[in-house]
Structure 1
Amino acid sequence: MAVTLFACADTKTQQTDTRPENQNTTSTNVLNEAANSKTILCFGDSITAGYGLDDTDDAFPGVLQKKIDSLQLDYTVVNSGVSGETTAGGKSRINWVISQAPDIFLLELGANDGLRGVPLTETKANLQSIIDVVREKSPKTQIILAGMELPPNMGKAYTTEFRRLYADLATSNNLLFIPFILKDVGGIAKLNLADGIHPNKAGHKILAQTVWEVLEPLLKA
């Protein structure tokens, strides 16, 4: 599935396919344009990609770009979200994506692992591998880890350990941490699409604010 980067006429948020097998002149030009300012790379799944929205610029990376632009901060938000992405999928594409050397890297993956019952050791190892690649390939990049939680029907032991693995990774790697990216959105019908899983436009505005609480100090430092 294609990786999307948001594009909007009145913002700097970019939209293209960032997988190595789909490199082309257009994607290269877009990423070169983004390189003219500092870059925030949002690396995730359908939550980042804006699944189900009429306008993908309404997903939280696009909302962040609008806020950044309103404050006249020189940052371009790059959306590298793939609907259905697992941590294994993220691990397989991170080497090419991180070659863009973003200033800030937001890692939002794992929900699809959890919903599929992937062993927690595998999910944690994949996330650690992604973190390791970012630090090796782009050591100046600041990493933000976005945590996720699962619905209770996955079982108490599994959901508890799933939540904990993000906190453990954040602590062991000394990362900036968002405990639950769907805080105040997950499970609230009016803030989600009919599937009850993916945030709607209103939900993404709240997601953007949750991310902004951690992101803002970095941008203004």
Structure 2
Amino acid sequence: MYQTLAAVLLVFGFSTAAFAAPLKLVVLGDSLSAGYQLPADDAFPAQLQAALEKQGHDVEVVNAGVSGDTTADGLARLDWSVGPDAKAVIVELGANDALRGLPPEKTRENLSEIVSRLTDRNVKVLVAGMLAPRNLGEDYASRFDPIFADIARIHGAMLYPFFLQGVAMKPELNLADGMHPTGEGVSIIVQNMLPAVEDLIKRAGSS
């Protein structure tokens, strides 16, 4: 009888594991991650999911990017953009703050609140950094650029220093506006970020 019960429990255990839901990773961002003017399959979340699946990860990557969003906009929609089933979040916000010349202190405050609220929910966070346009001056850049590393350090989050690494300022990898990556540009971003994202989902899966 006990052997039969053990066998049933063993089979049940394998069955529930087989039907376990994939780990949910949300990309909370702006047009850079949302896939501005790109086919859905070329957007960052879609390409990232394909790359993770190729590496054998069972992950659902959710595109929670909204074109034009600032850190204030991201904070305002945080609770409904990142549902209770999310285990990990990539925060890609701040570019529009800089483009609009918003006070870096406010960007810091908003981003800190976003990451703080996510970590309080035991959601693992990867902060994707951004750099201020140099035409805003060195003073602005010196106040803006360090925000992302500081926030990651303070809240124990992960950091990817510059989301557009390897793509920024390369015309062949950006749309005609010179700011948004093409599908090929997104592919480079994904490959550059992949090790950090794999670390993120490893941490999320073990929490």
TM-score for the superposition, normalised by structure 1: 0.79
Alignment partners' CA distance in 2, 1:105 and 1:220: 13
SS in 2 for 1:199: coil
For 2:133, the aligned partner's letter is P
Larger mean CA deviation between 165-174 and 177-186 belongs to 165-174
Q: CA deviation at 1:76?
A: 0.6
In the alignment, which residue of structure 2 is the partner of 1:65?
Answer: 49
1:43 aligns with 2:36: no
SS in 2 for 1:77: strand
Q: CA deviation at 1:86?
A: 0.6
RMSD of Structure 2 on Structure 1 (CA): 1.5
Alpha-carbon contact 2:116-2:155 (below 8 Å) kept: no
Q: What count of residue pairs does the alignment treat as equivalent?
A: 184
Identify unmatched segments of 5+ residues in structure 1: 1-34
Identify unmatched segments of 5+ residues in structure 2: 1-19
SS in 1 for 2:175: coil
Greater CA radius of gyration, 1 or 2? 2
SS in 2 for 1:100: coil
Q: CA deviation at 1:214?
A: 0.5
In the alignment, which residue of structure 2 is the partner of 1:177?
Answer: 159
Between the aligned residues of both structures, percent identity stands at 39
Alignment partners' CA distance in 2, 1:197 and 1:40: 25
Alpha-carbon contact 1:181-1:210 (below 8 Å) kept: no
Matches of residues 1-221 of structure 1 in structure 2 within 5 Å?
36-53=21-38, 55-136=39-120, 138-139=121-122, 141-219=123-201
Q: CA deviation at 1:51?
A: 0.2
Alpha-carbon contact 1:95-1:133 (below 8 Å) kept: no
Alignment partners' CA distance in 2, 1:81 and 1:220: 23
Alignment partners' CA distance in 2, 1:93 and 1:146: 18
